[in-house]
Chain A
Amino acid sequence: MAEIEKKATSALEQQRVWEYATAPEAKDIVRLEDRYGLFLGGRFVEPKSGRYFETIDPATEEPLAEVGEAGEEDVDLAARTAREAWEERWRDLPGKERAKYLYRIARALQERSREFAVLETMNNGKPIKESRDVDVPLAAAHFFYYAGWADKLDYAFPGRVPRPLGVAAQITPWNFPLLMCAWKLAPALATGNTAILKPASTTPLTALLLAEVIEQAELPPGVVNVIPGPGGRTGGWLAAHPDIAKIAFTGSTEIGKILRRNVAGTGKRLTLELGGKAANIVFEDAALDQAVEGIINGIFFNQGEVCCAGSRLFVEESVFEPLVDKLKARLDTLRVGDPLDKNTDIGAINSRDQLEKIEELVQSGIEEGAEMYQPDCDLPERGFWFRPTLFTNVSQSHRIAREEIFGPVLSILTFRTPQEAVEKANNTEYGLSAGIWTEKGSRILWMAERMKAGVVWANTFNRFDPSSPFGGYKESGFGREGGRHGLEPYLDLNGGNGR
């Protein structure tokens, strides 16, 4: 019967290492135009500037399309169009009618979710599993959520008389291109404002696809306008335009400061959601394996290109070694590569500029004496890539512990007591988010009370919900997006009716 035994062992048995076969999401669901215009007054038009810029896939450096650049004349036209739409077609529309349009947008986003996810990944470089499971569903959820508020504004602020402001200029970043459009548009429209959206210049495509959805939803012309262009020029003209009543900006602290200076004294309302250098604080009694997942998610989600990324890890000294061992082992399992592959954990960095900035800061970390660890993974030849990185031996004064890197780089520091953890965590010019990892409920509350951060997560990180307000302290900006709080920046609560 030796025969049976021979037959009973399979050829596959010899291969002991399991390789995941590539599992790329198909691109063919996305129909790219060669050239996109501006979305103005309810339709796509050629930019009067006559200028177009190229937008690329950061994972391959291949051009995807040419996009019209809004010049000063285009910005002026957009502002006047949005103002007219507000006065004639939107301001006095009953809340339930506005809600109807928002629900339509939300449903269209869900129906076309795969298309949005694939395009987002192509233009931004983020892994498809994130655009599919986080960006697009959350964007739809924001429209659904604020659709619900549109006819209930009178009850949102008891005793106050909420009225819309007028035209909102909304300038969004490249890290969550579609989601940030949703964060901005949904509350603005729900509260009865019209909007001009200026998407980031490296990632305009999903904003333009959203414009297509808005057209499909038959929003009155001019209520939403999308005008891509470089921040310095297009964004600057937009913010300076006299027909703008409100500016909502998400992006770097540097630009936020410029905006604030320019807006001073104009009477325009401003909200800023800027940089961060969040502390993730792990106590000895934390559920360590889940803390590891939370830390990984906190800093490597979206390649670390997240304003609220948990880029500083504070570990109670007594668990420093086991935690760092676990983190390193976990880093080794991260799959870096083709963002369209469904098994990719870390995709491409959005642009060469950003990659260079990350490289420069990481170099400074090495020079200042911190100890670097990177897994030994292969990187694709073309495109912008950076290995997941962690630094130990970091001190508070190192640049990598102070400056926002906006990349997959974690700085690990230690503390001995909760008081020390609070002091060190708050010792930063930013204050956007923080994470606390402990099994002790009272300590979570004690810590949360003392953290100078807009969002404090307990035993989790990077968790977002449309009903939960988000925003910063100090140089991380001001104003809140999301939740009932997110309505306020778009409303005059004293019954005014625009300027």
Chain B
Amino acid sequence: MSKAAEIERNTPSLALYAPRDASRLVARVTSVDAVGLEERAASLGRRSIKRESKLWALDLAIRSMDLTTLEGVDTTGRVVSMCAKAVRPDPTDVTIPSVAAVCVYPQLVPVALGELKRSSVKVASVAGSFPAGLGPLGARLAEIREVVDQGAHEVDIVLNRSQFLGGRYAACFEELAAAREAAGEAHLKVILEVGELGSYDRIRQASVLAMAAGADFIKTSTGKIGSSATLPSALCMMEAARDFSHETGRRVGIKVAGGIRASKQAVQYLTLVYETLGPEWMAPDLFRIGASSLLNDILMQINKERTGRYQGPDYFTID
């Protein structure tokens, strides 16, 4: 198994915090000034990443990608095709690495596992009444257990925004901790759905709550609502992760997802990671990009960096 896709669990005890700490944790989260945050994100977004550093970033963007299909019309055929792309993004170029994982609905987990069993690519499944997360708790936990039993390596669940925005932090924490337990050895990514939280203060609080409850990754968005990941919201989460690591010694990964279609965006997110969390986070075990159409744009850009010319979209496979 390739080391790139191997996620090492940072385990300095998940039991650092209990549900009764939740309110206190949320209350002492530092405020976030929207103007300053957006200014900083914009200024990092203007970094000029060229030549070798761009190639390296694009390579990492592929290695960190969760190639995703989450549609009601996903079929076996669709997932088989996407898995092939995940292993060999460019069939004509062996220097292009595989992606980190594919991300699918629970029903398609066995298909993906079958297709990827001899590759380094992991299988991630959404679970827990994705995307609203408001199914009965028992059913949500059962869904998590089931995908893990089937062999999913990673589970993407959503934060219970109903409880979080309603101020029921302890209940919210308990659910996350239960999900953490249900996921067992699998890696748990908690989607905050930043587009629904309404302020950066809330995003930072949600980040801290999810991290304290044991999330391996905190993730921006489901991609199922109008507003998805943005540079400032991702920066806000990264600052929370940096301080959390500083305080507890536990490194939590960041996954940005939703609306990331262009290589330039991917490079901007990597710049944010680099300048906020540092080089340690610049690897698939601590950074992921959830995307689908982004991959071909990256392939096109890599090709352009190497040859100096753009190729038409039909030179890259649509899977």
Contact = CB atoms under 8 A, between A and B. Distances in A.
Q: How large is the interface on A (under 10, 10 to 19, 20 to 34, 35 or more residues)?
A: 35 or more
A8 B87 contact: yes
Contacts of A494: none
A11 interface: yes
Nearest to A129: B46
B119 interface: yes
Interface residues of B, number: 47
A7 B2 CA distance: 10
Contacts of B129: none
B115 interface: no
B55 interface: yes
Nearest to B53: A21
Of A5, A294, A342, most B-chain CB atoms within 10 Å: A5
Contacts of B33: 287, 290-291, 439, 459
Contact of B39 (A21, A286, A293): A293
A291 B35 CA distance: 11
A18 B283 CA distance: 11
B2 A9 contact: yes
Given A13-B59, A290-B32, A342-B48, A4 B53 contact: no
A285 B118 CA distance: 53
B148 to A, nearest CB: 24
A8 B63 CA distance: 9
Per DSSP, are chain A's interface residues mostly helix, strand or loop, or mixed? loop
Contacts of A23: 48-50
Contact of A10 (B51, B54, B96): B96
Contacts of A286: 31
A254 interface: no
A4 B36 contact: no
Interface string B41-85: 001001111111111110110010000000000000000000000
Contacts of A16: 279, 282-283
A293 B40 contact: yes
B53 A460 contact: no
Interface of B: 1-4, 30-33, 35-37, 39-40, 43, 46-57, 59-60, 63, 87-88, 94-98, 118-120, 239, 246, 270, 274-275, 279, 282-283
Interface of A: 1, 4-5, 7-13, 15-23, 129, 133, 285-291, 293-294, 325, 333, 342-343, 439, 459-460
23 contacts: A1-B118, A4-B88, A5-B1, A5-B120, A8-B88, A13-B4, A15-B56, A18-B57, A18-B274, A20-B47, A20-B53, A21-B51, A21-B53, A22-B50, A129-B43, A287-B30, A289-B32, A290-B33, A293-B36, A325-B246, A342-B47, A343-B47, A439-B33
